Amino acid sequence: MFQKMYDKTLGWARHRHATRYLSFVSFADSSFFPITPLVMLVPMVLAKPEKALNFALLTTLFSALGAILGYGIGYFLFEAISPWLQTTHYWGDYLAAKNEVDKWGIWAVLIGGFLPIPYKIFTITAGTLNMALLPFLLVSTLGRGTRFCVVAFLLKFGGEKFEAKLREYINHVGWLVVVAIFAALGLKLFF
């Protein structure tokens, strides 16, 4: 089951419009979309490792542009979205990010750009706190760019071996993720 989905994803990564899809997901992820651009970047690099740097830079560029939108949402629209945000699981993330940005400033945004957490939380928070836009944009680009370049280069240089191992164990990985999701949901119900 998961192997078929994996093969289909690799097929999409080779699609002639794949870079457009990657650009959209990268932009949207930094501002409002719940899906990471790694779902497109990883299979695209595996499908065309010679273009790893191009894909990483494209992902970085559109992620930084999306960060500006996220900042704008926080700056201009936070009062309007706050009631909705409080009803989602993102509210706790927002409060945690706000605490970190209050404490560490621009450094929290830089680290948030690199970590595998919803970056949109940091972009919106930076806007709500009226962080200086140019430094925000610089650290967004640096944090996200570092993350995407590291992923792209690891895949490029470990590519064929990594891809072969991933393909071999994709069903195991897929079922492990499903079990982890149900375990997390079960823990959440009891605690």
* Residue 111 is assigned to a structural domain of this protein: yes
* Residue 34 is assigned to a structural domain of this protein: yes
Q: Are 125 and 139 in contact (CB under 8 A)?
A: no
* Residue 176 is assigned to a structural domain of this protein: no
Domain count, the chain: 1
Query: Can you give the residue range of the structural domain that contains 40?
Result: 2-158
Element (H, E) at 84: helix 52-86
pLDDT at 35 (0 to 100): 81
* Residue 178 is assigned to a structural domain of this protein: no
pLDDT at 158 (0 to 100): 79
- For the entire predicted model, the pTM comes to 0.79
pLDDT over 70 at 33, yes or no: yes
pLDDT over 70 at 61, yes or no: yes
* Residue 134 is assigned to a structural domain of this protein: yes
- Mean of all residue pLDDT scores within the chain: 85
> Of 94, 130, 128, 92, which is closest to residue 112 (Cα–Cα)?
94
Distances (CA, A) of 52 to 6, 20, 60, 153: 19, 16, 12, 7
One-letter amino acid identity for 161? K
* Residue 186 is assigned to a structural domain of this protein: no
